[in-house]
Amino acid sequence: MDHARYESPLCSRYASDQMQYIFSPDKKFSTWRRLWVALARAEMELGLPVSAEQVAQLEAHLTDIDYEKAAQYEKKLRHDVMAHVHTYGDACPEAMPIIHLGATSCYVGDNTDVILMREALELVRDQIVRVLGKLAPFADKYKAQPTLGFTHFQPAQLVTVGKRATLWMNELLFDLHEVEHRISTLKLLGCKGTTGTQASFLELFDGDHEKCKALDEKIAAEMGFTATVPVSGQTYSRKMDYAVLSTLSGIAQSASKFATDLRLLCHLKEVEEPFEKNQIGSSAMPYKRNPMRCERICSLARYVMCDALNPAVTAASQWFERTLDDSANKRLSVPEAFLATDAILNIWANVAGGLVVHEKVIEKHVLEELPFMASENIMMDAVKRGGNRQELHEHIRVLSQQAGANVKDLGLSNNLIDLIAAHPAFSMLSREEITAHLEPARYIGRCPEQVTDFLEAEVKPVLAQYAAALEGEEAELKV
């Protein structure tokens, strides 16, 4: 590392080696060369003066890229594509005359961008599956563990720890389906020429329109795509970049929701992220166990969500068939969105695989609020024994305020049950009958069944479909 130069923390601190490789110079420029080979082969097969020997020479030099020479050419020519054409040609002198024949710069630039985005989406898809694979057993284990539900971050009816986890998973499944859709619908630009008319290829093929169409089809097939965009200017529509980054933004939103929930649960001391033996929570306060992993997820998620605005503005500001103000922005916004999303999912898998549940604290919080939740059932029992529903409701309202004041103003325990049992309006019920309502499992509804149904119907088929993704290495943090 050169410590005198800026280096993106997305590479040095956060993103995986796999995602960094997808957006590396080696991957980019070797893909340019693969596209030049595909073009030459298709032109040869369609009758242009391109020989099998020329194609073979191009294939023999797909990866031996002389970056120093390319940099020298670019400094001289001020054109990155032509710099690599000449560099490739120096390595393949017999093929030099036919490299890039009929094509414009976007042939290699835009097609490569689509190829890299698809490969990156496939990696993101596998990472999503790994997170789901970590959360599924957690949800199943705690599907019947009662916990306070929260609306407005105020205690509400009980849910379960496992049911809450399915909410996180459900949003992530939505993101997975979006990723699958993007992967299946991405199309290459193909060979469309300088303004999208294929005029140069129509000239090369002596006016044969069918050969122009066949050229696109052959290149798409060689690069692993079923189709190219039907019409374009010089570039594919920049809305494609926006669609992809919007999908990444959706993942970031789901991740931030999960991480924010966990940060709040950490504050409540109910559920915590992993905390390593030698980890330091604070340089000043030795006792601290800060949720730094989830805070990092939220931080990176904010970056991805904001970054999705870049291709939106780019798509909106393109002029007619082409303008170059997209180029510098695309070089930053698209790869960095993927690098940050990669980091988010890696951290999420790490957290999900090591969640710590403090069941006694959860039970304590449930029991502190349960008397309020049980009051309606107690009222119903009293009505069945001859009580007046409206009068009993008013008594419970007043008693609940007294119990609340004891908790909030005096720091005492919730004594609502004692107050109800002592009130003459509830004399038709014994204390045992009243306290029988203080069983948390009576207030979790169908949470266990919902978890089981969700895992069986929605999650297990996905984990089975992408079983290979679950065989990867355990998620570890770089720092």
Domain boundaries defined on the chain: 21-98, 105-136+163-357, 361-443
* CATH fold for domain 361-443: Ribonucleotide Reductase Protein R1; domain 1 (1.10.40)
Which residue in 93, 1, 2, 81 sits closest to 35, CA to CA?
81
Catalytic residue list: 152, 282
CA gap 248, 176 in Å, rounded = 10
Is the Cα dihedral 298, 299, 300, 301 positive or negative? positive
CA 305 to chain centre: 11
Tell me, what's the pLDDT at 376? 86
CA gap 107, 103 in Å, rounded = 6
Tell me, what's the pLDDT at 471? 87
Tell me, what's the pLDDT at 90? 97
Q: What is the dihedral of CA 87, 88, 94, 95, to 10 degrees?
A: -140
Helix (H) or strand (E) holding 146: strand 146-151
CB atoms within 10 A of CB 139: 24
Helix, strand and coil in the chain, % to nearest 5: 70, 5, 30
CA distances to 15, 51, 230, 298, 307 from 336, in Å? 9, 40, 29, 16, 8
DSSP letters spanning 230-273: SS-SSS--THHHHHHHHHHHHHHHHHHHHHHHHHHHHHHTSEE-
Tell me, what's the pLDDT at 479? 74
Tell me, what's the pLDDT at 281? 58
Which CATH number is 21-98 given? Answer: 1.10.275.10
CA distances to 68, 98, 335 from 76, in Å? 13, 22, 27
Tell me, what's the pLDDT at 285? 59
CA gap 62, 276 in Å, rounded = 45
Domain 105-136+163-357 has CATH 1.10.600.10: no
Report helix, strand or coil for 154: strand
Tell me, what's the pLDDT at 473? 66
Mark the ranges of the chain whose per-residue pLDDT is less than 50. Answer: none
